[in-house]
Structure 1
Amino acid sequence: MTHAGPASLTLLPGSEQPSWPALHDLAFLLAAEAGALAGRLSSRTAIAVGDLVRGMNCYYSNLIEGHDTLPVDIERAMRADLATEPRRRDLQIEAVAHIAVQAAIDGGALDELATPSVLAVEIHRQFYERLPESLRFVEERETGRRIKVWPGKLRIDHVRVGRHVAPSPEDLTGWLARLDEGVPERFGRAERPVIIAALHHRLLWIHPFADGNGRTARLLSHALLRRTEVGSALWSVSRGLARHVEAYKSYLGRADAPPQGALDGRGVLSDGRLADFCRFFMAACLDQVRFMRTLLSPEALSDRVREFVAAEAAGNRLDARLAPLLERAILFGEVPRAEVPFLVGTSDRQARRLLQPLMARGLLTGAKDAPLRIAFPLGETERLFPHLWAPSSVESAIAQLLEIEEALRLPQRQ
């Protein structure tokens, strides 16, 4: 199969599409609600939540690819506590690689990479350079041939993904140059989430790498959302997509189709089906913003801290007097050590003894004379952040999308 030239690849659904006003409204709502999320936490607590979300994003992004690494194994890998079984160990290393690349994104280390393709190549390079040799190969389905995956290098083989035949390897640079015309900052604020959603599909359609395209695309989306001040370290694109993984793959596949008639755009691909994917992608993002907003409500956090300490005290794992200390640490990010005896109602010596389980479990950190800072180890999040690791079949993405549209009274695409 041959494709028309890169100029035929549309980067935004046409404004003549019936759903274009709905996309604008959904993009505006996503940007507004995501922007309000960051102000709910102290800066120190936001850092701790960001560390937690990176682990969560890694878990869900790899889960979409069929790599199910348990949160406890991810946490152990972050401490260099690797399993002896080779496959399990390699997946732990893969998880650490994913978290490291997202940490670089969240820390602004890749901000100078202005265009989507250059950023995607760097994300792929940094991810694959950290992988064990066993995960740097992909097996060709038809022949069983093992193909080497080179970090940050474009593929040199022809590929088919399901029914989609990706562009020829010799044409990849031209297609990626077309992708780079979609730099989100060149668009109006109401269009930026839409173009980021569209770029997500377009990168996967081009399929520039021998393997790792899905995780690269999701990390790229995270980076572009963050850069346009819609995304942040406080919520995860991948969790929203993984919770509706079959719908995610279905919408991606549908958007690979050619125009469905004379009114479906003049490009090589369907404008209407791209609009459908963008709408699904932004709805999944909005779902995650709202989920984290509820989870990070100070009132709800305080309630869960008290419930957590009470349950741990009942099992003789923590002292019940620690509840005010842990609550203050979560709400303010840190607690001066001089305040600890007052908060737990004991002497200084006894307060240090009561602190030991929290320090040992990683919920509080800090050098001897430094303030105590909150942290959220992945293995300690079940009660403090319920449903964070929910299975992918929690609810239908389509039903959720219809609820959002009903709330906004948006027109539905036929």
Structure 2
Amino acid sequence: MSRFGTLFRVTTYGESHCKSVGCIVDGCPPGLPLVESDIQKQLNRRRPGQSNLTTPRDEKDQVTIQSGTEFGVTLGTPIGLSVPNQDQRPHDYTETDFYPRPSHADWTYLLKYGVKASSGGGRASARETIGRVAAGTIAEKYLHMAYGVEIVAFVSSVSSVKMPFLESDDEDLFSDDFMQLLNTVTRDDVDQHIVRCPDKDVSERMRERILEAKSKSDSVGGTITCVVRNVPPGLGEPCFDKLEAMLAHGMLSLPSTKGFEIGSGFRGTTLFGHQHNDPWVMGTNGKLGTKTNRSGGIQGGITNGEHIYFRVAFKPPATISQPQKTATYDGTDGVLAARGRHDPCVLPRAVPIVEAMASLVLMDAVLIQQARHTATKLLPPITTLPPTMLGALTKLDKNEQVDG
């Protein structure tokens, strides 16, 4: 389906080479300050043609708010967002009339629908993510204004070039430097380098690896790490809509994704239980927290108030300009040399997309939890909890919990 979310619902529309792409956002609270420039900044980070590391397709990706706001604030009604496709070259894709491109969705879309878009991958194109980024920016603004939530993603590996924290192999899993990075990294830090890796030296080696692939008409993949700070506790809907499950759902719905891990992830499987367990400690702020946060801010599918951090794997872009031996739709052997304008590596442009999907997941979870708290407040207070539990709950500040 083209819709994501339960209470904060986003429906994206458009194909790679149609007249426009965009989305409808339904369920945004009224009274949120919102103008087009709020959305445009993140779209500019996603747009093509930013550097020689990305596709040269020249799209400005200028967004227009079509509905749902007046005098710069949201009305609570559906918000329509539209971005025109201006630099279209559908003639670059005539070969797809004969060949299903290797590792593309040409054949699977044809099998499913009995018809497919004739150019650019249609709905499977990364152009579809414009609607997600636009909607995610709205969600993120609400989360930041209401709870102080901060979401920062960055490129953590390109091919075999990795940030130092991914090289560590000891039982601590991640160094103090990495945990400090999660505490302090900003989007300005990330955007200082065109690869969008906040480590200057590693970023340069990543850039060289991407340019090497580009010079050979090839492509490379890698990973993006994302941290979410100031997350309200209590978000997530066990058992099937646990927050990490919804994050995985959102991230793996993105084009080119092949893997998702949260907290200690796959590396945590190498430890014994006594090494991996995350003891509770009383913080300097007088509130309960975890010692190491190997859980990545989520336990039992519910946020605990610690930073959420996760990593998403992206495959090398499937479209390359090298001739490839493959087969036509009728199974005849042939050679395909793809045309068009393509990214040798999607990672630099995928950073704001990952941030947007994290925003959409959290926004929906926040509205669901707000509804629960509002309903509960109409009932008599719960008095049967042990005094220690009641005391701990009363220490939570208004901005540290979702209440209606």
Q: Which TM-score band (shorter chain)?
A: 0.3 to 0.5
TM-score by length of 2: 0.33
Higher helix share: 1
TM-score by length of 1: 0.32
Higher strand share: 2
User: Whose RCO is larger (CA < 8 A, sep 6+)?
Assistant: 1
